[in-house]
């Protein structure tokens, strides 16, 4: 039956993403039903944010359809300022955030009701996984990453960190309950890897 197939697919995905499943569950538990989720292009968004994270109205799901990284934060800021009665959560990677890092100044100035969740793996994780899968070297995928606690302090934003699966529920609940912005770093090196690295099904020259 279709429902059974859907349940099996979701269970298989939960198994494949390992400790990320706890973050997914914590996001859904922390958000009211009609919160806004702005998903930047990042592994968390592409592997489970668009498949496992339950959203109940298409107008609550913002995503840059062009596929360019970094746009999610600007979209989330706009949504949060347009309707401050409900919280907005942005899912971003450290690489995508670096492209539009100046938007943090907008967050600091306008103080929207926004939780920025940065999945920090120290680089362009999708490209890293693709290179690891198809080539014998890495190039341009391991990035200099800011100290997000110090960065948040520099612009007077509250900061929290998730470094283990059992921290996700508390940290995200407290962040979403705030009346203003919070930067939450998901330290992926500490959290632990997905059981199955996310590698998009795309063809590469020379493979």
Q: What local confidence, expressed as pLDDT, does residue 202 receive?
A: 64
Confidence label for 142 from pLDDT (cuts 50, 70 and 90): confident
pLDDT of 195: 81
Q: How far apart are CA 43 and CA 124, in angstroms?
A: 9
The whole-number pLDDT of residue 125 equals 63
* pLDDT band of 25, cuts 50, 70, 90: very high
Give yes or no for residue 201 having a pLDDT over 70.
Answer: no
DSSP string covering 145-180, please?
---HHHHHHHTT--EEEE-SGGGHHHHHHHHHHSSS
CA gap 46, 119 in Å, rounded: 12
> Domains in the chain, ordered, with CATH?
2-39+50-191 (3.40.50.970)
Question: At residue 203, does pLDDT exceed 70?
Answer: no
Residue 70: the pLDDT is 86
SS (H, E, C) 45-72: HHHHHCCCCCCCCHHHEECCCCCCCCHH
Range from 63-67, 117-121, 169-173, 183-187 carrying the lowest mean pLDDT? 63-67
- Chain centroid to CA 191: how far? 14
Q: Which residue has the higher pLDDT, 136 or 155?
A: 155
60: exposed, middle or buried (Cβ count in 10 Å: 0-12, 13-18, 19+): middle
- Is residue 1 pLDDT above 70, yes or no? no
Judge contact between 116 and 75, C-beta under 8 A.
no
Please say if the pLDDT value at position 134 is more than 80.
no
């Amino acid at each position: 039956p279709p429902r059974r197939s859907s349940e099996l697919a979701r269970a298989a995905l939960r198994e494949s993403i390992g400790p990320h499943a706890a973050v997914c569950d914590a996001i859904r538990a922390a958000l009211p039903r009609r919160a806004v989720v702005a998903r930047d292009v990042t592994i968390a968004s592409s592997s489970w944010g668009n498949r496992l994270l339950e959203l109940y109205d298409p107008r609550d799901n913002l995503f840059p359809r062009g596929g360019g990284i970094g746009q999610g934060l600007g979209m989330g800021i706009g949504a949060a300022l347009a309707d401050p009665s409900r919280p907005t959560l942005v899912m971003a990677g450290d690489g995508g955030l670096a492209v539009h890092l100046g938007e943090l100044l907008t967050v600091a100035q306008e103080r929207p009701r926004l939780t920025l969740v940065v999945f920090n793996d120290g680089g362009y994780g999708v490209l890293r996984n693709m290179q690891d899968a198809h080539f014998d070297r890495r190039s341009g995928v391991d990035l200099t990453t800011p100290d997000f606690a110090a960065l948040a302090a520099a612009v007077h934003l509250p900061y929290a960190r998730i470094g283990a699966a059992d921290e996700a529920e508390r940290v995200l609940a407290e962040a979403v309950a705030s009346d203003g912005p919070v930067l939450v770093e998901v330290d992926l090196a500490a959290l632990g890897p997905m059981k199955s690295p996310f590698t998009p099904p795309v063809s590469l020259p020379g493979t």
